[in-house]
Amino acid sequence: MADRITKEQRSANMRAVKSRDTRPELAVRRTLHRLGYRYRLHRRDLPGKPDLVFGPKRKVIFVHGCFWHSHDRDDCPGRGQPKSNTTFWNSKLKRNKERDAEQLAALANSGWEVLTIWECETRDVNLLERRLHNFLQG
């Protein structure tokens, strides 16, 4: 299937993708704030600059986009595969996944607990609240 937009338009779209303050990240932050939790954002001194850091609890949360971090759940609507320039994209997405694993290992080795929230998981607010509360209370 051919792309519906030009190569230049696609390139502009991809350049516009943000790495922080994304819709899923903001949804998680709003939920945590409503539940009474306070946190730090994107601490540069930690591997992977976690999206949310709960220093005294030594817990961090990453909010991952399903496409960019290759979410592997079959029922995930955002895990599509690129249809053009597949060699580049497959390599890039594979490296993203490897880097995520390296960062999780480094955090765990430093005594940090990690929770990854996937973009598709932010749509069910009740489930999101339970996951966040269980992680932070445990």
| 24-35 pLDDT per residue, tens | 999 999 999 999
Is 3 a domain residue?
no
Long-range CB contacts for residues 51-54, cutoff 8 Å, separation at least 24 = 51/20, 51/25, 52/28, 54/136
User: pTM for this structure?
Assistant: 0.85
Is the residue at 1 inside a domain?
no
- Confirm whether 11 is domain-assigned: no
- State the Rg of the chain over Cα: 16
Q: What percent of the chain has pLDDT over 70?
A: 92
- Domain count for the chain: 1
